A and B are shown apart, each in its own frame.
Chain A
Amino acid sequence: MEYFETKVVGQERITDDIFVLKVERRDAVVAAGQFFMLKCWDNELTLMRPISLFKADEHTLYFMYRVIGKGTRRLSILRTGDSIMLLGSLGTGFPVQEVSGKVALVGGGLGIPPLCQTVRELHDLGVETDVFVGYRDTPFALVDFEPYAHAIFVATEKGNEGYRGFVTDLLKPEDYDAVFTCGPEIMMRKVAAICDATNTPCWCSMEHRMACGIGACFGCSIRTPEGMKRVCKDGPVFPAHLLFQK
């Protein structure tokens, strides 16, 4: 974990409100499912913003995010050459080293980006990975998964592309040795439940408001059967049974 200034090397608008910010990686060490705290302001805004890592190349970090407030709006107007402060990489990500055989990644909406770095790492480890992605209407980021995924299953709620309905309808956990999921809580709850029914190990990545991002302030604590856990440090990835009880 480092706190460092770096340069924006690109910004791409994916949809009306979804952007991909590209920054120089410097020496950042990253792992699937981790996140960074970002800021491109001095003290006009008080807090840095937690954004999950979309993917990392040798020299570049990519962050895919939706503009939802003041901070993300500020991020979205960054242009090549602008400077930005990063704190990271942060948190406990997906346990890519602990799985083998066949893995399913299940993402919904803005929970999809962190699965991109995950499929890349699983691919490098030789783990066969199927990707299940659900969108409201228009799919995005599919090309980022294609080189690394064994198969990609697309669902859209409005039927624009792929299966019409929820992505969870497509998942058959019994076909996999592990399932990693990130997305709306209602979706992850469903994934956790169907994995539980087939005794398939499942990990979920949580989103939360944060202040420090490094485990010091307890601003993102959640209650689990094993006590209070900090989403920023103990997570954001947790075994499903800690988050969703039967």
Chain B
Amino acid sequence: MTLSTTINGVFFKNPIIAASGTFGFGGEYNELYDVGCLGGISSKGLTLNPKDGNEGVRVYETPSGMMNSVGLQNPGVEAFIRDGIPAMRKLDTVLIANMGGSCIEDYVAGAEMLSKADIDMLELNISCPNVKSGGMAFGLKADVAKEVVTAVRQVCSKPLMVKMSPNAENIVEMALACEEAGADSLSLVNTFQAMAIDIRTRKSVFQNLYAGLSGPAIKPIALRMVHSVCKAVHVPVVGIGGIATATDVLEFLMVGATAVQIGTVNFNNPTAGRDILNDLEQLCQREGIDDLSQIRGIL
């Protein structure tokens, strides 16, 4: 049986990738299990310059999920290249640098630096607010997303994966726009914009009013979106959204995902990466799956 897969020429020993923002740069979880067993790790979301992140409550549990408003706290691209990459390189797994930005110029400058660094892939987070045009996220309107992906593509010599927001006006149009702009692959979905109220203070739980919802609660919607996008595009798609079991992994592969990312489940079970991988091997055996290509995109 083989669980390995290739995305944009990059070899993944299995389709389980740790999702950005839940896994740091891998070092903390590597103290609990050998994270080299994973197919890949997508780094904590980077920005060109260091960011402190948001004030107030940053994480909040919800039924079958959680909300977060971390606000991309990160050391910046330069520090990542200096300290993060050498540390991640010790982990024997595919190194994906996840990067966002608040304006196109920052995206381009960051991508240019990362492109010259020792990373395997660049995952572009387009869910960030565009501060130069009213704060609306890049990933909501297809023409805006196309603009930033086109600009990054011009400076990016690494495989370019675009991480899509489920808050996009039309997820399929968005996917097609990113593909046309030069994305080598797509990953979806990021968190759903959501809200929670503290009735005692009569205010939003979050200082930024809204926050991102993740976890099993979003899985059925994410699955539907991955299915729709896989039907429409030709580039590989990485499925994300509430994946917590090996069965979930197979579901995403069956709707067409080449690989998956696991995020929130790492908080519920800190050895989830290893555990889901072990379960996946057993599940494939039980289901008579010798190669994941047998079931990929069968729906």
Contact = CB atoms under 8 A, between A and B. Distances in A.
Interface in B130-170: none
A212 B52 contact: no
Specify the main secondary structure of chain B where it touches its partner. loop
A209 B59 contact: yes
A118 B64 CA distance: 37
Contacts of A218: 44, 53, 58, 70, 73
A150 to B, nearest CB: 37
A43 interface: yes
Contacts of B244: 43
Contact of B57 (A209, A213, A214): A209
A45 to B, nearest CB: 7
B268 interface: yes
Contacts of A221: 52-53, 58, 70, 73
Interface string A209-246: 11111111111110100011000010000000000000
A210 B32 CA distance: 18
Nearest to B69: A219
B271 interface: yes
Q: Which of A47, A210, A211, A214 gathers most chain B CB within 10 Å?
A: A211
B68 interface: yes
A17 to B, nearest CB: 18
Given A3-B270, A48-B267, A216 B23 contact: yes
Contacts of B68: 211, 217, 219
Nearest to A212: B267
A3 B21 contact: no
Interface string B16-31: 0000011110001101
6 contacts: A39-B268, A43-B265, A46-B61, A215-B24, A227-B52, A228-B52
Interface of A: 1-3, 37, 39, 43, 45-48, 71, 87, 209-221, 223, 227-228, 233
